Amino acid sequence: MPSDARVRTALDALSAPREAFRSAVATADEEIRAARNRIDEGRDPADALARELGPFAIDRIDPARLAGLMQVEAAADPVVHHLLDTAHRVFEGLASDDGTGFQVELTTGGDLRDAVRDALAGRGRAFGVAHAVEKARAHRYQPDADHVLLQPYPFHRWSAGERGLAPPLVVALGGADLRAGSLSEFLDGSVRIALVVRGATSPAPLARLIGHGVFVAQTTDAAALERLAAHDGPGVVAWVESGSGAVEFVHDPSAGDRTWERLT
């Protein structure tokens, strides 16, 4: 199967977690637009801010208390307005993604860890702008220090809740570039990574990633991608070609308490 067809297959297999992320972003965007409209109409600030960020309202400030702090001046606060507009653009762009934002093509000789880091940071903009809006609502947003929240938001700054909303990634790469040990720092929450591998590779490039609660597979069988999507936790699958030299195995945390039960 050509690489591009395999990438499409991997994206389709991960459609449920992709849609979960896209749906959360779309819901947040709807609520951002509704909040902006309510503020424009001069409605009660507590009502306007109560549901502003939906699933992205991490560490939400109580809206009634917030309204008391901001009073009606919130309606005219240019910083809040600017950040609501920015959040709308970010959420709208992520929600309308047709799948290309969930895939990465690693150039020959490229660094797999860096590619995954950058892709997650790009998706993480949703979380960064949410934090920026929260700060602005509380009059704590400092443009000189907090403008970084409007940029790609690195994975190491994501909260546990944000990692639970992590989008899946599909990475196409050559077997010689499958140096996957460094991916362990990203295998948390609901991060799922499908590696579509072309050509020969080492026998066990994912072995070091086997750990508690982490689904790991090296396989020629696309069915492992469906199992990755269904797994309640982080995971990574290397979908290799026949004759690649990779040993096939599946480490499924749900299969038992003992290592020999989980590893097939």
Name the nearest CA neighbour of 212 among 192, 234, 193.
234
Contacts for 202 with CB less than 8 Å, ≥ 6 apart: 175, 178, 245, 246
Residues 60 and 112 grouped into a single domain: no
Q: What is the mean pLDDT of residues 115-135?
A: 93
pLDDT number for residue 78: 78
Residues 11 and 229 sit within 8 Å (Cβ to Cβ): no
Does any domain span residue 157?
no
Residues 25 and 115 grouped into a single domain: no
Residues 67 and 142 grouped into a single domain: yes
Question: 91 lies in which domain range?
Answer: 17-98+126-150
Residues 38 and 83 grouped into a single domain: yes
Structurally, the chain folds into a number of domains equal to: 2
Residues 201 and 218 sit within 8 Å (Cβ to Cβ): no
How does DSSP assign 63-106, residue by residue?
Answer: HHHHHHHHGGGGGG-HHHHHHHHHHHHHHHHHHT--SGGGEEEP
Residues 197 and 142 grouped into a single domain: no
Length of the chain in residues, anyone?
264
Q: CA 114 from chain center: how many Å?
A: 15
Residues 25 and 146 grouped into a single domain: yes
Residues 112 and 227 grouped into a single domain: yes
Residues 45 and 131 grouped into a single domain: yes
Residues 132 and 49 grouped into a single domain: yes
Residues 196 and 233 grouped into a single domain: yes
Q: How many CA atoms lie within 13 A of 86 on its CB side?
A: 21
Does any domain span residue 162?
no
How does DSSP assign 35-70, residue by residue?
Answer: HHHHHHTT--HHHHHTTTTGGG-TTPPPHHHHHHHH
More confident residue, 34 or 128: 128
pLDDT number for residue 75: 47
Does any domain span residue 156?
no
Residue at 195: amino acid letter: L
pTM of the entire predicted model: 0.85
How far apart (Å, rounded) are the C-alpha atoms in residues 250 and 216?
A: 6
pLDDT digits (tens, 9 = 90+) for 176-204: 999 998 899 999 999 999 999 999 999 99
Q: Return the sign of the alpha-carbon dihedral for residues 141, 142, 147, 148.
A: negative
Q: Tell me the pLDDT band of 72, cut-offs 50, 70 and 90.
A: very low
Q: 10-19, 73-82, 166-175: which range is least confident on average?
A: 73-82
Residues 141 and 218 grouped into a single domain: no
Residues 131 and 111 grouped into a single domain: no
Q: What is the mean pLDDT of residues 152-173?
A: 96
